[in-house]
Amino acid sequence: MIEIFKSITMRKVLLTLLMAVGVLVARADGYAYLTFETADGARASVAVESLALSISGTTLTAGTQTFNLSNLTKMYFSNADETTGIEEVTDATLDEAAEIYDLQGRTVSREQMKKGAYIVKTKQKTCKIVVR
């Protein structure tokens, strides 16, 4: 009985996804990018031209970008690449930090960081971090 329920549920999910992809293709006419926004505000745009979407477990792959489905908040079409240049921070990145800025653009030291969001700049990349 449980296997039948799982099978029916999976079919509904797949049918819903197929319909959503059909709607995406129909609405993509005239737009150059499909933009994904995550819970932390980061955006990644993927060119609509030859776009391929796939879902595996809780991961959505769109072109060369991968997203955790639980972290996605929006998906919309746009005419410009809206990819943000800020990536998630790791402990190694924070240790390599050349400069740390608060959201007002002021330079802060690691010791001055309180609860809030910060921009961490290293020689290789720029990341954002949220201190809780």
* Residue 64 and residue 6 share a domain: yes
> Which domain, by its residues, includes 74?
2-78
pLDDT the model gives residue 38: 82
Question: Looking at 78, 100, 121, which one is the last position of a domain?
Answer: 78
* Residue 100 and residue 68 share a domain: no
Cα–Cα distance for residue pair 82/42, rounded to 1 Å: 9
* Residue 94 and residue 73 share a domain: no
* Residue 68 and residue 12 share a domain: yes
Question: Looking at 33, 54, 78, which one is the last position of a domain?
Answer: 78
Q: How many CB atoms lie within 10 A of CB 99?
A: 11
More confident of the two residues 22 and 104: 104
* Residue 113 and residue 56 share a domain: no
**Total tally of structural domains belonging to the chain:** 2
* Residue 67 and residue 15 share a domain: yes
More confident of the two residues 22 and 61: 61
Look over the chain and give the mean of its residue pLDDT values, rounded to a whole number: 75
- Give 86-129 pLDDT, tens digit per residue: 555 555 566 677 788 888 888 998 888 888 888 888 777 777 77
**pTM value?**
0.47
Q: Could you write out the DSSP letters of every residue in the chain?
A: -HHHHHHHHHHHHHHHHHHHHHHHHHHTTT-SEEEEEETTS-EEEEESTT--EEEETTEEEETTEEEEGGGEEEEEEESS----S-EE--HHHHHT-SEEEETTS-B--GGG--SEEEEEE-SS-EEEEEE-
**What is the arithmetic mean of pLDDT over 44-70?**
85
Q: What are phi and psi of 93, to 5 degrees?
A: -65, -45
